[in-house]
Each structure stands twice: as structure tokens, then as C-alpha cells.
Structure 1
């Protein structure tokens, strides 16, 4: 089958044209200092802050485990991770040098993936296995108690959606702020009937995914109650996957300032039009300064 080119392609020098040499230098352990270490317990959620210019590492501490990640601008939670646009601009399963993009009208990279120990997963390190499975999924979204009730007739309060709701409540956010996720360490794909499938997580103890925070972030992660997804959660073979659940580690690193020379947080998308409506166009940069007092 002929390879069809991607619809969204970077032009040289655009914000999609990632400086790989710069981001590769940020993985040097000698040029960073750990400033926070947290653990997301099994079947629970946790939220934390990551300042711009810092590195976030998510790790499978004791064995394979799937996690559901949300991101918000720390100073303006209306700006949050946009899974579907990231899927278009990057790919359906993200890895090193892919970026996680924010919603309209902001549309800027919130974080850039700089290291991924599962980047060589699959057949001959291709990133895809024999059944079409790939890791770090943007195809699906979080499990939630609403769908679970429809499928099973039962209530369960520790789905990823509920875990994220509890995690962000101390930061003044609500269920309405929880959004589509990046499924870290999760292996998924589409079958021959174009239906979404999930496979057992291929991560092992000590695997990790690292993201460079392009802006000040509020992050939240759910340690999925499905564990490593090796057990069916719904259908005739469903059973409790508690034995497959493991915690996920969270670490935040401050980088040596010399590694950040020439870097600055990205600005909002430069569109200043009025969408064809009458009246003056909104200058979003000026609005940000007015509302939040930040550049």
C-alpha cells in the first residue's frame, strides 16, 4: 500500500519544525536537579505543578501500568491540552520530539517529549507490533463511570475520569475542566473493523516518558484502575484487574540554565482575525496580560 503523506506538515522554521539537537541536550542527567518526587497510587489520581523550562518524568515504578494525563496552563486553566489537534499535528501515538498542543484560541505547544524508553517498541524497533499496536495513545480517552454504568449497570468511583476530578479539586478545578487525555504507556490501535483495541502495556519496571514544560503547567495523572490492561474490563471475559495495577512515579527536574540559552516559552497562535464577525478583533496577547498579569 502506498504511503499517503500527512495532511499537516511542518514548513522549515515553523513551530512544528522541532530543534531536535536542543531537546536532545535536555536529557543529560548531569545538567539537571530533581526538585520534586511523587507517587501516584494504584487506582488514584494526583495533580502537581511543573514550571516552564523544567522536565517532567513519568515512570513505571514496579511494573507495567497505564496512566491518563491531563495538562492545563497553570495561570489560565481555560487553556488546556487538546488531544485531537495533537493527533493531527503530530501523530495518533506520540513519542520523542512530538509536542502536546493546547486548545483554541491559544494553540501552542504546552510540552515537548524529550525521552521515551518505549520508542523502540514493536517489530524491529519500528514502534508498531505485529497486530498494529503502538504506545502513548491519543486515539482513545479516559475510562469513566458513565460509560461503565452503561456497559455493566454498576457504579465505580475510581475510573480515570473520577480520579482526575478528585485530583484537581484542590486546585479549584472541577469535572468540567477534565478533558481528553494522553494515555501514557498504553498500547492501542484500530482493528480491521476500524474499532479501537487495547493491549497489555509493554512497559516494564523503570520505563519512563519525559516531557519538557514549554509553559507553566498544572498536570494531573490517573493511575488507571485497569492496571496494565492485560485483563478485559468489559464483555463476557471481564474480571477485576486489581492484581495488574502498579503505581506510577512522578519526578520534576530543574535544568542547568546554560541548557536553556535561547529558549523562551512559546506565544499564542498569532491569528488576530475576528472570525468574520463585526467589531474589533481580540488581541489575545493583550487579553492575557490584562486578565492574568503574565507575558
Structure 2
């Protein structure tokens, strides 16, 4: 897992990779910087990182110099020097692990759990700044609708484009996360063992909070749309989301791998007890 956190606003960008070589990390750094510059109209001025081999190479150095970005390294084993990122690593890993254990999904769904918890964290008040990271980093007015977050691991029904009139038009699916490359969400369909994206879905009433509800738009422009919920309901929804993701130990242990959280036997037991089989191995 690769994570970049804005020191000023607390906005977080996460991604998962099969390796951490220089080419992979450089490509992701370029992608993240371009995203921040184009979507939020912000300029990256400085990057802090540890002294791992994926950061101390000529490729990354040349790119940062060409962009006029300072690259500052933390001292070896000095986790406090890059404490905000270390704390976010622990937080995201804990949140994602909790989602997987609660939903009885296998470790292969790790990527989607990380995306889901990152989306939520960016829309929760940051204790340091007292603001929502998404609002703080955006140069344009943004309203966050908490009812738009779908419950990871719960049951949903998506439209079956290949159905015939003699069979149900919906497919039973497991909710994963919002698709960053479309207006839809990602679902795992057990019957075909595939992860698909759909913006035509419904969620049973028992799987959704009555206030959070179900919608397909996470962001609302203040001038173009109005929120149908009053401030008391919205505040209540924020409090419940915040409390749900704050049940973790407040320490500074560096955790980047699942093996740091579970023993080999525990990971094997999670796989055995998983409610749903894994998607294809090429995910």
C-alpha cells in the first residue's frame, strides 16, 4: 500500500501495488501530483518520505527537480519526523482490516477496503485542522453528503444487463467501494465470481442506515444542489461514522503489511472462515 497525505489539510490518497520498485512508485507519485493539481488547483511544493530504496533513486529525484518540488528525507527509524503519514498508515490499515473481518470477505478484497475507508476518512473532520480534508484541500465550494457512502461488505442488487424476461432482472452482489474511474460503484457478484462496476443498483432497507440512505453522488456543489437533510440529521450521521472508525489504539507503530497485524495461522483462518470465495487471481 502506498499513501500520500497532505500535511496542511490531512487529505489522503492511497493505492495498492504488487511491488514497490522505483518505476511503480514514481508512476503513482506522478499520478497523485497531477490529480491534486488538476482537481483541486493546488501546487505540491514539498514531499517528505523515508529513505527506502523506492524513494532514493535518480528517477524520482529528476522528476521532483523538474517540478520544483523539495524532497526531504526523514532520519532512519525516526517515525516521528513523518508522523502524520505513519499515523495514517496505521489508521487506514486498521479500518480496512476491520471492514474485511466484519464482512467476512477474503484478503483479496484488500484493495477495495482501502479505497472505501480512504473515501470516508477524507470526509471526516480532521482533529488537527478541525475541517473535512476534502473541503480543506478543494479550492471550490464542496458539500459532502454522508448518505452517499455505501456500506462495505453488505448485500446489494445490481441490474443484470444479460437477463431475459423469464428470470429476475437483478443480480445479488456485495458492495465494495466507489469506482474512482466512473460514476458508479464496485460490486462483487458471487454467482460469477467477478468484480463489476454499476451505477444502476439498489440496497435492501436492512443494509442501510435510515439517515445515510442511498444515493450515487458523493459531492454536491453548493450553488447547484441543495441537501435534503437538515443539519441535525447530517451531524448525527457524521458522529456515527466518526465513532465507527475511531475504535483503534492510538499508537505510532509502523504497520504496512497484513502480516504485521495477523500471524500466518490467523490469516489462514480468515481465509477458511470467509463467507464468499475470492475473485479471479488477476485482481
State the TM bucket, normalised to the shorter chain. Answer: under 0.3
> Relative contact order (C-alpha < 8 Å, sep 6+): which is higher?
1
Higher strand share: 1
- Calculate the TM-score normalised by the size of structure 1: 0.22
